[in-house]
Amino acid sequence: MATAAIIGGAGYAGAELIRLLDRHPSFDLRVVTSDADAGMPVADVYPALEGIVPDTFSPHDDPAALECDAAFLAVPHTAGMKHARRLVEAGVAVIDLSADFRLPLETYEAAYRTAHACPDLLAQAAFGQPELNRDALDEMHDRRIAGFPVIVGCAGCFPTAVALAAAPALRAGLIDLAFPVIADCLSGVSGAGRKPTARTSFCTANESMEAYGLPRHRHEPEMEMELSLALPRDPGDDRPGCPPSRVDAPGLSASAPKTPQVMFTPHLVPVSRGMIATVHLRLGSHADPARFRRAYEDAYASSPFVRVLKEGASPRSSSVMGTNDARIGLFPDRKDGWATAVCAIDNLGKGAAGQAVQVANIVFGFDESEGLLGLARAL
């Protein structure tokens, strides 16, 4: 049994972590923090969590968190790094749901327009997307056993959905990288966080849809980095998590970019939770519908969470609500050499808390699906 703390338990992703860890057979949740709600019963903020232990929010600097084996950081971007050092120095494995430990230093500072508070820890962090970067997470497990610092920056919600939709075709060398990966995505309002804004208030968001983050959303660099993990690599290319033999992959010319270019448009839609990524991919001349589908079926054959739907089926966000699942619909024969992959996830599940628990399971040597199967699904 491993003990766990949640730093930032009053936000939507934090509340989802409480729900998942409270029922987890191998994590014992000891600490749930919120500076704004310190001293308040958890059930006063989230009545559905009545009866969980611990039942009261404590401040972020609660020293009991330093005694835990794992700490999940569910605080906003740029806030996670402010808590990481004291936890890591106390020997706590840090699983960060914010963007603070996902990206290379220069990319992070450009995208989030802030200096990183602990670049030395960022340099040691692993990127937390189990379906694409499992080797790095297995290495974090080994580091934890050996007593070295452990910190994982979990992938974001939009990048997770886009990567699951595009990575198998990229890995199989079926995509013409002279064209961008085009990602049109829909997200529920909870993706914007619990703090109300003019855009996310009920009267503004209800019965309305809106594209935002244009012309270049800050998630695009993460998407491009994540998709680069799926590309076979040249000999000597040391990008972590990449399979070998890029030069032997069909359809990848010497002039093709090593980082796929992504054109991403997010849309806010009037649902509480859920995410759809509709990803358009330009096929190489050698690709065909059967090879396209087979690439996805092979990639996710052993995944406990990613399901490739039957031919012609498109996923619904309601089918994955409350779960760590992803469902993918494939349409490989569009027009003029384009294919489309549609991925549905729960932005609070596979896009946040569920994926963080999956990552923690791997880091602690548990089965990656532990505590994440049998969760409620909508009809």
Catalytic (active-site) positions: 157
Rg from Cα positions in the chain: 20
How many CB atoms neighbour CB 341 within 10 A?
Answer: 26
Which residues fall within 8 angstroms of residue 166, CB to CB, at 6 or more apart? 175, 181, 183, 227, 230, 260, 279, 281, 341
Which residues fall within 8 angstroms of residue 237, CB to CB, at 6 or more apart? 246, 258
* 262-268 and 210-211 beta bridge pairing: antiparallel
Structure tokens at 79: 């806030």
Q: Assess contact for 352 and 273: CB atoms under 8 A.
A: no
Q: Assess contact for 131 and 302: CB atoms under 8 A.
A: no
> In degrees, to the nearest 5, what angle opens at C-alpha 209 toward C-alphas 206 and 210?
125
Side chain identity at 322, as an amino acid letter?
G
Closest to 7 (Cα-Cα) out of 17, 90, 158: 17
Facing residues of 275 across strands? 187, 345
Give one DSSP letter per residue of 300-344, joined into a string: TTT-SSEEEPPTT----GGGGTTSS-EEEEEE---STTEEEEEEE
CA distance readout (Å), 238 to 152, 228, 255, 256, 360:
19, 12, 19, 18, 25
Alpha-helical segments (H) within 191-264: 202-205, 220-228
Instruction: Work out whether the CA dihedral 226, 224, 218, 273 comes out positive or negative.
Output: negative
CA distance 17 to 104: 26
